Amino acid sequence: MSQDIATPIDIRQRVAIVTGGAKGIGKAITETLSQGGAKVMIVDIDIATAAKLAHDLGRCGRQVEAIEADAASVGDASKVVEAAVEIFGGVDILVNNAGFYPFTPFLEVDEDCWDRVLDINLKSVFFYSQAAVRQMISDKKPGVIINLASVEAIRSIKHLSPYAAAKAGVVTLTKALALELGPHHIRVNAVAPGAIKTPGTKRMRQFLRKEVSRHPLAHRTFARHLQTLMATLPLGQEGEPNDVAQVVLFLASEAASYMTGSTVVVDGGFTLV
Ligand SMILES: NC(=O)c1ccc[n+]([C@@H]2O[C@H](COP(=O)([O-])OP(=O)(O)OC[C@H]3O[C@@H](n4cnc5c(N)ncnc54)[C@H](O)[C@@H]3O)[C@@H](O)[C@H]2O)c1
């Protein structure tokens, strides 16, 4: 008898940890994985929003918990995995989604800015993966890690240099971990979104508008450049968080069982023009 077409993407009863899972792309990932039947632990510094999302999804019969933790903290990574074990009995899927992308011209990037961007976008991926993998190996269970990279790793725009470096690091780290963890039946892949409508990109646009009015000469050309990029997007518009979440669901599921070390670009054609 042939298999039901939906069977390979069934993730019922798997336990997923989603960093930055309260808003934007992370929120869509939380919703999609829980809709697919996974038990989800939202990790976020914005605990009020995370707790409300967990509560709302709980009312729809989903098993979702929220924990206040910093993606950039190595200590918090162990604390989060311990909580997932205590509440849900283990960890099967880790989505390293938390990110931070301040627009800063190269000459204005100071050490604090560099450290914060690298800590949230890259160090977090390393140490949350390490904590989750220790648990997966000790439970002798297969696992999945999905890292949020960015088209910035492939085709940079101006004023995001530490972020571009961090996301290129995420792409390479994804390959390095896939190589080491394959023998443990742990798959590691990345998703590289293009321009997606989220609270983070809204903040970026507001910041840019302020900069253009304060320093018209320095920033107007750049703002026009961004406008042109958006106007020439092959798929014609910015993406929605759910466009990324659907790909994360695919990578988390058995439908992607022979994929590891890949970075899937989800950008409406941004990197083509
Ligand atoms: N939105 C885009 O266009 C886009 C494009 C490419 C890549 N990305 C990547 O996708 C991911 C999500 O981006 P987004 O636009 O949804 O972001 P967002 O700013 O809209 O939301 C980020 C979420 O992460 C949480 N968060 C921030 N710092 C945290 C920390 N230190 N610890 C725990 N939680 C933290 C926030 O509270 C929020 O819930 C990021 O890794 C980002 O780099 C986004």
pLDDT by residue for the chain (273 residues), tens only, comes to: 567 877 778 999 999 999 999 999 999 999 999 999 999 999 999 999 999 999 999 999 999 999 999 999 999 999 999 999 999 999 999 999 999 999 899 999 999 999 999 999 999 999 999 999 999 999 999 999 999 999 999 999 889 999 999 999 999 999 999 999 999 999 999 999 999 999 999 998 888 888 777 777 666 777 787 888 889 999 999 999 999 999 999 999 999 999 999 999 999 999 998
pLDDT of residue 8: 78
CB 201 within 8 A of CB 151: no
Local structure of 9: helix, strand or coil: helix
- Per the confidence metrics, is the pTM higher than 0.85? yes
Asked whether residue 43 is domain-assigned, the answer is yes
Asked whether residue 210 is domain-assigned, the answer is no
Tally of domains within the chain: 1
**Is 128 assigned a catalytic role?**
no
Asked whether residue 42 is domain-assigned, the answer is yes
Asked whether residue 212 is domain-assigned, the answer is no
Number of residues that make up the chain:
273
Q: Determine which residue's CA is closest to atom 10 belonging to ligand 1.
A: 148
Asked whether residue 70 is domain-assigned, the answer is yes
CATH number of the domain enclosing 137: 3.40.50.720
Q: What are phi and psi of 216, to 5 degrees?
A: -55, -40
Q: Which of 259, 230, 235, 232 is nearest to 247 (CA)?
A: 259
Ligand 1-lining residues (CB < 6 angstroms)? 19-20, 22-26, 43-46, 70-72, 97-101, 120, 148, 150, 193, 195-196, 198-201
Q: Which domain holds residue 32?
A: 13-196+239-266
Determine which helix (DSSP H) or strand (DSSP E) holds 266, and give its type and residue range: strand 263-266
Determine which helix (DSSP H) or strand (DSSP E) holds 67, and give its type and residue range: strand 64-68
Asked whether residue 207 is domain-assigned, the answer is no
Q: Which residues contact 153 (CB under 8 A, 6 or more apart)?
A: 164, 167, 168, 170, 171, 192, 263
Place of tokens 């989505």: 95
